[in-house]
Chain A
Amino acid sequence: MTDVTDLNDDQTEGGQELQLRADTDPLELLREAGAVLRLPEGPALDPADISTEVGEDETMIINMGPQHPSTHGVLRLMLELDGETILRTKPVIGYLHTGMEKTAEDLTYVQGGTNVTRMDYLAPLFNETVFSMAVEDLLGVELPPRAVWIRMLLNEVNRVSSHLLFMATNGLDLGAVSMMIYGWRERELVLAFLEKVTGLRMNHNFIRPGGTAADLPAGWQDDVLELCRVLPPRLDEYDVLLTGQPIFTERTQGIGVLTKEQAIALGATGPVLRSTGVDWDLRRDQPYLAYDEVDFDVVIGTCGDAFDRYAIRLEEIRQSLHLMEQIVDLMPKGDYRAQDKKVTPPPRGRIDESMEALIHHFKLFTEGFKVPAGETYVAIESPRGELGCYLVSDGGAKPYRMHIRGPSFVNLQTLPVMLRGGLVADAVAAISSIDPVMGDVDR
């Protein structure tokens, strides 16, 4: 067997790793201790404030991950510890870097959805939605109302399944193993509905530029209302199991605290930002799809700790169910995709009848449609925060540049701030409360 130390040498990530405090530039330490406080509004940090009581030879750098049961995927955390207390943290990412932005330049706009959907793999329909919206913005295509409402319905269903997975993994990380089983039991119901509509349990490639791939199946209203009927009592079960329970509250209250200024300065969005008390939700403040025609509450926390984020997501499931009920009532009739022949493929039956339909189908699926030159940035509210797509087109059939602003990528920057001064066990709770998805972080 090869010597373990040899392997370790091959696997250092060099400059990406954390160095001992003794080896670190004091300015760097200053930055880590209170970078956000260098904003004009905050007090300046005095170098004497950095605690130096601990002797330099007493701290240890511990590596957590990338293969670790509690880091939510392949996240590597380097922690400098004094005993069990975390002094400094450095997340090292890139272990799931897939080159999706490069691959996107090689796929047509029709194929782009398959690539984008695998970024945030817990909320695939959101990735597809933001990509399709960016393409449609450049194309100038107007969507029929039913397509918009179907997208909204699927987005909310996906939000429910993503938050249920958060409940499950959050519970598992904190030791409530039965929560894992309950969360997945509920998620299977939602995935069954998604499988009925889109054909797949995950990575659906259903929301495409121009609308959706197919219409909702007959009887979908009953399925959605069944979900809305079955889930709320189970959510109450989770309340009993977790929210009021002393062990859970001890492990999450006061853990991973973030202030408003820190969150905004670091670019955090989604439940992480809302837990600090900032009232910001893109669905309400910069409405897209048809969110200005439905009624829902934006859930905000007060303390900015892990418990608030858990409670926000639990309540957001309820709000999404409420939204789904409204969508069932308000869903308009009509086409599920824009009838622009250059963009959306013809129905399969027409291909046998019409030469023109056959040619359109062929051209769309081989060459794809051309998008006028330009650039655009579209952002939506995914379960993790602001998911944005910056798309540059040069007039061809493939994107010139597609950049996805991943919410988890930016939210992870709050981790060093959250973990400072906490215990190693609290690190697990804090990471779990951010709910990062490494596909989104590394792309």
Chain B
Amino acid sequence: MGIEQLNHNFLTGNLENLVNWSRARSMWPATFGLACCAIEMMATGAANYDLGRFGMEVFRASPRQADLMIVAGRVSQKMAPVLRQVYDQMMEPKWVISMGVCASSGGMFNNYAIVQGVDQIVPVDVYAPGCPPGPETLIHAILTLRTKIMDGEIVARRAETGAGAQLHLPPPAPKARPAGDTPVKLLVR
């Protein structure tokens, strides 16, 4: 009874690829619309450009339920700690798209009030330029992020940098098993 006899009713794959495939296709964004870019983000979510086809139409208000933070708009000095707190409240794996030039680099506002690039506060995965970036640009950013997720490169990089916060937690201690047991036997039982 080999695989040949299953008549092509099964797909086999790498577990990591399957996990990445499902993560990439149902990223739930956290609502972090700040300024003009938020309007274009809403337009992307609306019927004409439809983020629903990417599985992303549910913008979660609670960061605990979101995996993607699209920083849409200019981040002021007063808002910066709030941004970091919301990012910290999100659970791994999480991604950040910096939407618009103000979020990416401070944009046209090179002054006392605006943080010059949101990557000073949170690690950014994809930058989407534009002022504001049209819905097509945002979708392109999302698809770029999707390919990055599928590559698995982000998760590897995050492990190195400790999720961007240089947190290196000790791995959990392996549970003690009775000597002689093998995993297969456990299943059979």
Q: Which residues of A contact B (CB under 8 A)?
A: 1-2, 7, 10-11, 13, 66-69, 73-74, 94-100, 102-103, 114-115, 118, 121-122, 165, 180-181, 184-185, 187-188, 191, 201-203, 438-439, 442
Given the known inter-chain contacts A122-B39, A201-B134, A439-B35, please indicate yes or no for A95 contacting B113, CB distance below 8 A. Answer: no
Q: Are A181 and B76 in contact (CB under 8 A)?
A: no
Taking CB atoms, residues of chain B closer than 8 Å to A102 are: 111-113
**Distance, CA A344 to CA B156, complexed state (A):** 55
The interface centre, meaning the residue of B36, B47, B85, B134 with most chain A CB atoms within 10 A of its CB, is: B36
Taking CB atoms, residues of chain B closer than 8 Å to A100 are: 109
Q: Are B46 and A74 in contact (CB under 8 A)?
A: no
Q: Are B38 and A69 in contact (CB under 8 A)?
A: no
**Distance, CA A96 to CA B82, complexed state (A):** 12
Given the known inter-chain contacts A98-B113, A121-B39, A438-B35, please indicate yes or no for A10 contacting B79, CB distance below 8 A. Answer: no
Interface SS, B side: loop
Q: Are A96 and B88 in contact (CB under 8 A)?
A: no
The B98-143 residues at the A interface (CB cut-off 8 A) are 108-109, 111-114, 131-132, 134
**Closest residue of B by beta carbon distance from A180:** B46
Q: Are B113 and A97 in contact (CB under 8 A)?
A: yes
Taking CB atoms, residues of chain A closer than 8 Å to B33 are: 73
> Sorted from nearest, which 3 A-B pairs have the closest CB atoms?
A184-B46, A99-B113, A121-B36
Q: Are A69 and B61 in contact (CB under 8 A)?
A: yes
Q: Are B74 and A96 in contact (CB under 8 A)?
A: yes
Write the B35-69 contact mask toward A (1 if CB under 8 angstroms, else 0).
Answer: 11011101100111000000000010100000000
Taking CB atoms, residues of chain A closer than 8 Å to B132 are: 201-203
Taking CB atoms, residues of chain A closer than 8 Å to B18 are: none
Q: Is B81 an interface residue (CB 8 A)?
A: yes
Additional A-B contacts beyond A98-B74, A439-B35 (7; CB < 8 A):
A67-B32, A67-B82, A97-B76, A184-B43, A191-B43, A201-B40, A442-B76
Given the known inter-chain contacts A68-B61, A102-B112, please indicate yes or no for A94 contacting B76, CB distance below 8 A. Answer: yes
Taking CB atoms, residues of chain A closer than 8 Å to B32 are: 67
**Distance, CA A205 to CA B42, complexed state (A):** 22
Given the known inter-chain contacts A11-B81, A66-B82, A118-B36, please indicate yes or no for A188 contacting B111, CB distance below 8 A. Answer: no
Taking CB atoms, residues of chain B closer than 8 Å to A94 are: 76, 78
**Distance, CA A103 to CA B114, complexed state (A):** 11
**Distance, CA A69 to CA B86, complexed state (A):** 13
Write the B3-47 contact mask toward A (1 if CB under 8 angstroms, else 0).
Answer: 000000000000000000000000000011111101110110011
Taking CB atoms, residues of chain A closer than 8 Å to B108 are: 103, 114-115, 118
How far is the CB of B151 from the nearest CB of chain A, in Å?
27
Taking CB atoms, residues of chain B closer than 8 Å to A180 are: 42, 46
**Distance, CA A2 to CA B59, complexed state (A):** 26
Q: Are A185 and B48 in contact (CB under 8 A)?
A: yes
Q: Are A99 and B48 in contact (CB under 8 A)?
A: no
How far is the CB of A72 from the nearest CB of chain B, in Å?
10
Q: Are B43 and A188 in contact (CB under 8 A)?
A: yes
**Closest residue of A by beta carbon distance from B110:** A103
Q: Are B109 and A202 in contact (CB under 8 A)?
A: no
Contact of A203 among B36, B78, B85 (CB under 8 A): B36
How far is the CB of B138 from the nearest CB of chain A, in Å?
12
Q: Are A96 and B109 in contact (CB under 8 A)?
A: no
Q: Are A1 and B78 in contact (CB under 8 A)?
A: no
